[in-house]
Structure 1
């Protein structure tokens, strides 16, 4: 499965998010294995892809990672009690960094939380990542 993971970089970056996108590329190249947080459990698993959407103000998908494990709960009662590990794909993230997918190009123009990528949008994401449509999952 393919998932859209929303990052709100404007909350922490005074440059409006460009630095967050650059930082994600740097991480893909230097420390690609990351722990990601969720507010609630999702039916994701090893081999699923995580498309990283920078929500404000860029509104574009500019990175991708492969999920390595199922979400696990670390502590109930926290704002984001679920964690999973995913490895950023350096080559695909580099391509997406150069040629991001703008939100307006997707059929889901109002994503909320972590959501599945719509089938209609997957081909466009794969093309921008340099994988072409043959890398899609059935």
Structure 2
């Protein structure tokens, strides 16, 4: 019986084949395990010469496979480089030289680690997938009390994938960061939108015209606001109602000098929600928040009511 093994050598895709008979493999492996060269005097020198040639080709292929496997493991981020060096029986200098030949950075920065985590826990649609976060933890074999697991959780928290909820039975609980809801207050008599009055009727028309993302103003930097959040627009003055909704398209940033307010962000009016709210607004007397001001996180009871009125 003959075994044919094909190897791809190098980055050019060139292929080499190693043909080893089952007798050769059995003979060589047995000799290696018993730390011998000849298992018996009946082994002919010519057979041994053929074994040497076949094993040499096989070792070349295995060495190439080993090198590419080391690079693949490093790219995955599943194992730290210290453990990878132990598995490969390589010192740090030799390991780093090998990785550098394949374009891997000599030093793994925090950004590199976060990029690896992003790739592993992001769905095909580009959203954070809770199941993949759990699967990632399980694939690494990390318990939540494991040192490396805590490092992973910290990295995901720093990158706003997860948020930490303290004081749950004396132990931190992590959950995926979900879109936040913000109450954004407009005074139709003082505030403008798209160079015009910010009345409920005009804002509803703007939503129908689909102006795309536009600049919105903030008096203070809301660090927890990010793309994907929802903006429930409360019209103050004589109106006193939530009658429009927009979706946040960017995190807040310093506004240009001379702007109406010191911070700005991008948002886009949601036509469906705004149309529904303009017909059935959430009035101040129905709201849990009795003194809406500027822009801040919306109360849960008000979110639930506004979602129902917006048909979401």
TM-score of the alignment, normalized to the shorter chain, above 0.5: yes
Counterpart of 1:85 in structure 2 is 266
**Equivalent residues of 2:213, 2:249 under 8 A apart:** no
Which stretch shows the higher mean deviation, 18-27 or 114-123?
18-27
- Give the drift of 1:95: 0.4
**Residue 24, structure 1, aligned to residue 203, structure 2:** yes
The Cα shift of 1:4 comes to 0.4
Deviations for 1:38-90, whole angstroms, at most 9, x for unmatched residues? 11101200110000000010100000000011001024685511110111100
Distance 2:198 2:218 in 1: 23
Bigger relative CO (Cα 8 Å, ≥ 6 apart): 1
1:29 counterpart SS class: helix
The 5 A counterparts of 1:116-131 are 116-131=297-312
More strand by proportion, 1 or 2? 1
1:33 to 213, 216, 226: 213
Structure 1 residue 12: Cα displacement: 6.5
- CA distance 1:77–1:26, shift in 2 (3 Å): closer
The structure with the greater share of residues assigned to helix is 2
C-alpha displacement at 1:33, in angstroms? 2.3
Q: Specify whether residues 35 and 79 from structure 1 end up closer, same or farther in structure 2 by C-alpha distance, changes over 3 A only.
A: closer
SS in 2 for 1:123: helix
Unaligned runs of 5+ in 1: 132-138
Q: Structure 1 CA distance, aligned partners of 2:298 and 2:219?
A: 18
Q: Contact (CA 8 Å) 1:32, 1:89: kept in 2 or not?
A: no
State the superposition RMSD in angstroms. 2.0
Q: Which runs of 5+ in 2 are unaligned?
A: 1-179
* Deviation of 1:113 (Å): 1.6
The TM-score, its normalising length taken from structure 1, stands at 0.84
SS at 1:28 equivalent? helix
2:234 maps to which of 48, 53, 61: 53
Displacement of 1:122 after TM fit?
1.1
Do structure 1's residue 7 and structure 2's residue 186 form an aligned pair? yes
State whether residues 217 and 260 of structure 2, in contact with CA within 8 Å, keep that contact through their aligned partners in structure 1. Answer: no
Distance 1:78 1:87, change over 3 A: closer
**Structure ID, larger Rg:** 2
